[in-house]
Structure 1
């Protein structure tokens, strides 16, 4: 957290972002951090499972809290890259991420593939 705060402050110092943009980034980061602490008890995960016909197996579990932290870091990463995206465009990306309702996918397969050659891919919320 301290590292991100220093990055934001350095971007203000270098003139990469304005003070109000820095305040928005810091506020978003702290809001997300507080939400993640409150929701960490649920421990929901995005699960990706792949079983290939050849016997290869992949089992990935990504805590949903990481997705929320990534949301707070998007503007910081874009600003550091010197993107030409406007604040409105960045806000639209963040809003789209915020509007994902993971509850509606819980217990259901988001992706469910069974290929002819026996490969199986499943993505769901656990």
Structure 2
């Protein structure tokens, strides 16, 4: 007599992407006047998914002064308002920063030397 094989359970989780410590989001500045308005990808630590951290990282990566961000929109039409909204975001969701001012000179913050990628603080202190 053939004994029945035990039933195997099928889990959807086995077919999903591995859980990483970083959340990857696509962010851009909302500007309907630009012909090309590409997204950039940013990474947020899943342990620090707060509105404040999302705003800080997005502004740093896009070179925008956080004071000029009116709101963050999850595309196509949802405004993010609080930490719980940010905690629900999933990998590769598209976000836009909606800015308050129209004068382009005021929109973008020039990063300090230490914020620029590739800046070597020790090399800048060398004297000859």
TM-score (norm 1): 0.21
Higher helix share: 1
Greater Rg by CA: 2
